[in-house]
Structure 1
Amino acid sequence: MRLIIVSGLSGSGKSVVLHVLEDLNYYCIDNLPIGMLPSLADEIVRANRHVEQWFAVGIDARNLSGELVSFPDALQSLSEAGIKCEIFFLEADNITLLKRFSETRRKHPLSNDEVPLNEAILQEHQLLEPVSSRADLRIDTSMTNIHQLRDIIRNRVHGAVRTQLSIQFQSFGFKHGIPVDADFVFDVRCIPNPHWVAELRHLSGQDKAVADYLERHATVHDMYDDIRQFIEKWIGCFEADNRSYMTVAIGCTGGHHRSVYLVERLAAYFHQQREGVLTRHRELT
């Protein structure tokens, strides 16, 4: 049996994730009280002892604060029952969350006449700390639309089925912010920038002309070799720690040329070595 716990901040996309998992044939339950989690798991195991089943539950700040504090104990109960459990935690920066609630006119579950929206968001961060601190996968949706989030979850879930450790290489632009869900972040702004070549400016690192330009510089090959060797060295440690996901973020200034090229090249190399290698270009949307 595989159990995925979906949690996160209100407005970060938890409902979208549960809908995607439902489409992937997971049996989904939203807003489950934490106190019921061990009992639910026991019932699932008894009913499906000889059948492989996939389940997902949504747990969020609508739980009572006392139940959220007991989340580690609930996880321990699942582990003792022999249930493989993964935690997906979704988040977004406060400005993005304020904008989303303003645009949709939805009410935050912790806000009321005495608690304004910005304070409710801060309170939710604190309440969900017992869950967020134990997350196997953190997804920052600040710069992710619904369609991109759906693709991320589909790729992640399928990658986890294929191999023990799923590796995602992600390009990004530093001027748009560093991805908070990355395990490793590499800064490649020191290598030559195709942006300053007029005929390459409108292209991306996925285009051959940009790749040809970059590959004429020894520093590009040095950067690639150093990042590749670093990842090869530490993959085994992540697997030994029973991690299901590793995210490697590579950033340049705008996230269109250098970081994209290196993500594509690294992903191609590791794809030859193992399954479950994913790519995402955050700024190429």
Structure 2
Amino acid sequence: MSEATQQPAVPALVVVSGMSGSGKSGALHTLEDLGYYCVDNLPAELLPEFVRRMRAGDSAPEKVAVVIDARSLGDLSDVPAMLSQVGAMGLNPRLLFLEARSEVVLRRYADTRRRHPLSHLGLSLADAILLDRQALRPLRQIADILIDTSELNVHQMRRRILSEFGLESAGLALLFESFAYRHGVPGDADFVFDARVLPNPHWDARLRPLSGRDPEVRDYLDAQPEVATYVAQVQAFLDTWLPKLSTDTRSYVTVAFGCSGGRHRSVYLAERLARHSREHGWREVATHHRELD
């Protein structure tokens, strides 16, 4: 196994901010996969008190991530002072700011048909995007990490987050990804395994609406001898060769599993191999299910 990464010297706090439609939800999900205790849409003025409460218990999380953006109550120009208060409490706050060009945000909202959080003000979508950008200017100016997601897909953005926050010291971050072959193989996967050779839960009417995250699907696949053989062979391969990559200059490796629909077998395998890796000492392990997330 690779060298164990060390814990950060002080508790870590990541404040995620940025424009609506820039990918904040995906960033927060990735941080959650990396072991951060995550809170979405925290009112800005509650940040210091939230941190105090988080640190009060005996089992306080070592890594915390919160989203503060234009939805939050209070004056966002006060956030820099709040971050200073948090730093005085012994945390190491970092501000991650995500943005995208206005035309890209417009297209994303048109594609998803979601409402912009500021549309309740009676604004057009274009005006809501402009107001969002203006309201967030105080946070953008003090960002420790600024990511423009205009040209990034969700997978590329996750890898940026892994690269920035997945490694507290030298080591390798692992991403286990599931996908459907009918939508194409992920272009940046390092290893790709085909799960279409395995029994397909899709043909069981009880299991069809579920996914590989659900216990009923896991139980079904766990009971299949072919699945046990497949998993054992893939585990042996990864246990042998992934540690060799930890001496390279790369910061992360993506292991992808594909099946027909990207809902059952591939999801099951990605989750199972991620769990296996965590149990065998890999500190930074995340999952992403392309057809589900």
For Structure 1 versus Structure 2, the TM-score category normalised by the shorter chain is 0.5 to 0.7
**Structure 2 equivalent of residue 257 of structure 1:** none
Residues 120-166 of structure 1, C-alpha deviations (whole Å, 9 max, x = no match): 1111111111211111101111010011111111121124x116xxx
Aligned residues: 168
Contact 2:38 2:64 in 1 (8 A): yes
**Structure 2 equivalent of residue 162 of structure 1:** 169
How far residue 113 of structure 1 moved from its aligned partner, in angstroms, is 7.0
The whole-number CA distance in structure 1 between the counterparts of 2:65 and 2:92 is 12
**Structure 2 equivalent of residue 144 of structure 1:** 152
**Structure 2 equivalent of residue 5 of structure 1:** 15
How far residue 74 of structure 1 moved from its aligned partner, in angstroms, is 0.9
What runs of 5+ residues in structure 2 fail to find an aligned partner? 1-10, 171-246, 253-293
How far residue 275 of structure 1 moved from its aligned partner, in angstroms, is 7.7
| Residue from 97, 117, 124 that aligns with 1:116 | 124
Show the 5 A alignment for 1:34-45: 34-45=44-55
Letter in 2 for 1:7: S
| Residue from 52, 70, 78 that aligns with 1:61 | 70
**Structure 2 equivalent of residue 127 of structure 1:** 135
Contact 1:21 1:28 in 2 (8 A): yes
The whole-number CA distance in structure 2 between the counterparts of 1:146 and 1:48 is 36
Letter in 1 for 2:40: D
Letter in 1 for 2:27: V
Q: SS at the partner of 1:11?
A: coil
How far residue 276 of structure 1 moved from its aligned partner, in angstroms, is 8.4
Structure 1 runs (4+) greater than 3 angstroms displaced: 274-278
| Residue from 93, 98, 111 that aligns with 1:85 | 93
The whole-number CA distance in structure 1 between the counterparts of 2:115 and 2:25 is 15
TM-score w.r.t. length of structure 1: 0.54
How far residue 69 of structure 1 moved from its aligned partner, in angstroms, is 2.2
The whole-number CA distance in structure 2 between the counterparts of 1:157 and 1:112 is 34
TM-score w.r.t. length of structure 2: 0.53
What runs of 5+ residues in structure 1 fail to find an aligned partner? 164-271, 279-285
Letter in 2 for 1:22: E
Contact 2:41 2:67 in 1 (8 A): yes
How far residue 48 of structure 1 moved from its aligned partner, in angstroms, is 4.6
The whole-number CA distance in structure 1 between the counterparts of 2:106 and 2:58 is 42
Q: SS at the partner of 2:118?
A: coil
How far residue 72 of structure 1 moved from its aligned partner, in angstroms, is 1.6
How far residue 94 of structure 1 moved from its aligned partner, in angstroms, is 0.5
Letter in 2 for 1:133: Q
Higher relative contact order (CA 8 A, sep 6+): 2
Contact 2:163 2:251 in 1 (8 A): no
The whole-number CA distance in structure 1 between the counterparts of 2:123 and 2:23 is 22
